Structures are given as structure tokens and as C-alpha cells.
Chain A
Amino acid sequence: DGGITQSPKYLFRKEGQNVTLSCEQNLNHDAMYWYRQDPGQGLRLIYYSQIVNDFQKGDIAEGYSVSREKKESFPLTVTSAQKNPTAFYLCASSIRPTNNYGYTFGSGTRLTVV
């Protein structure tokens, strides 16, 4: 079955550590996105990529980095510069034009700073 897979489901980070969240899709979607959701809050866009080897900052990119070396993969690194990383991270993908089809989401990674 086609889908979008995020791993790990739960991740614990120590202060000062960089961690990488995985996002893989086999839907042949061109566009991929990373969102952050805090408790009781809406989704905030971190980074997005329309095609391989290209990506743009979203609304809250500081302290995060991404790469898009393959169409199927869009990993997110949470760096030590991100001062409040505890949140629910959601990866999404879409076929273009996105406006007609919406997003498919992965099941998310819950990151906690310990």
C-alpha cells in the first residue's frame, strides 16, 4: 500500500543534541512538507519542498534544517539552536497542484526534550 512513513514515533532529545526525523513516501508525490504542532495549537509550517534538491523555509524554520536528495525522502533535523523543540512533528506530501488534492500526512513523531 502507498503511504507516507515517519519514524521514530517517539523521540527523546537531550539538551544540545541534534536529532533527525525521518519521512519517506512511496506515493510518487512531488511536494513534501514538515509541520510542527504544539498542544492545543494549530499546524505551523517549518519547511517545504516542491521538487528534489529544492526546498523553502516556512513560517518557523529557525533551528531546523532539511534535505531533499531523493523524491521519496524529506528528513528534518532539529538542531540545538531550536530552543523549544518539544512538539508533535508531522510530515506531509502532495501531488501537484496541491490546491486540488490536499495533503497526505504521516502518523507523526512526538519529540520530547529531556
Chain B
Amino acid sequence: RKEVEQDPGPFNVPEGATVAFNCTYSNSASQSFFWYRQDCRKEPKLLMSVYSSGNEDGRFTAQLNRASQYISLLIRDSKLSDSATYLCVVPFSGGYNKLIFGAGTRLAVHP
């Protein structure tokens, strides 16, 4: 099993829609997780950190299911500006202060 796996998408949704992405991870000892956003030809930027069961920031909600080893990102009331690739990130199972990035899920929000 890969350390982190994501559905590559693309997810094509209209403005105002609610969309959810899932991410599965293999390291059951992981305590913290991250969602990054990457715009086309730009660097990834931290969107949310998830340390316990979940986190909410405005229209964005991240949830963690430790038993099933998956993390989800929910975006409500999608905006055109939400169009980007969303990267799921988990700590490397071997320690060393290193993170493992998923390949990303692409979101396209249309008018």
C-alpha cells in the first residue's frame, strides 16, 4: 500500500457546489496531517492542518478517520478561485521530520 493515495480527479463542479476529496494513508502511527493547495505552475501552500478528529476553517472542513486511515477535505459553496490541485500530506513512517505528499486531486470549479 502506498504511504498516501488520492483520487487524481479532476472533479468538475459548478460554483456553489459542495465537493469532498478523500485521502488514504498507510502509517497508522501518524498523528498529524496536512492539506496543501497548489495552483498551476506555483508552489504548494498550506491550507489546513489536522491533528485530532478534524478541523474547520470557513468553507473548508478536514476530517480524520483513524480507524479507517483516511482524511477528507470538504469544500462548501465552491468558488471559481477554489480551482487548484489539493495535496494530502502525511508524516513519513520512518520519522526524520519528513512529509510524504500525495499526487494531488485536481478541482475545477465552473460558472
Residues of A within 8 A of B (CB): 31, 33, 35, 41-43, 45, 48, 50, 56, 88, 90, 94, 96-108, 110
In this complex, what residue of A is CB-closest to B31? A99
Q: Which residues of B contact A108 (CB under 8 A)?
A: 42-43
- What is the bound-complex CA distance between A94 and B96, given in angstroms? 12
- What is the bound-complex CA distance between A110 and B103, given in angstroms? 19
CB distance from A93 to the nearest CB of B (A): 11
Q: Is the CB of B97 within 8 A of A96?
A: yes
Known: A56-B96, A99-B31, A100-B32. A42 touches B42 (CB 8 A): no
Stretch from B44-52, B53-61, B73-81 forming part of the interface with A: B44-52
User: What 7 A-B pairs come out closest when comparing CB atoms?
Assistant: A42-B103, A98-B97, A105-B43, A99-B91, A43-B101, A102-B34, A99-B32
- What is the bound-complex CA distance between A50 and B92, given in angstroms? 14
Q: Which residues of A contact B46 (CB under 8 A)?
A: 102-104
Q: How large is the interface on B (under 10, 10 to 19, 20 to 34, 35 or more residues)?
A: 20 to 34
Q: Is the CB of A106 within 8 A of B43?
A: yes
CB distance from A3 to the nearest CB of B (A): 11
Q: Which residues of A contact B34 (CB under 8 A)?
A: 102
Q: Is the CB of A50 within 8 A of B42?
A: no
- What is the bound-complex CA distance between A49 and B13, given in angstroms? 40
- What is the bound-complex CA distance between A96 and B34, given in angstroms? 15
- What is the bound-complex CA distance between A100 and B97, given in angstroms? 9
Q: Is the CB of A102 within 8 A of B97?
A: no
- What is the bound-complex CA distance between A96 and B97, given in angstroms? 7
CB distance from B86 to the nearest CB of A (A): 12
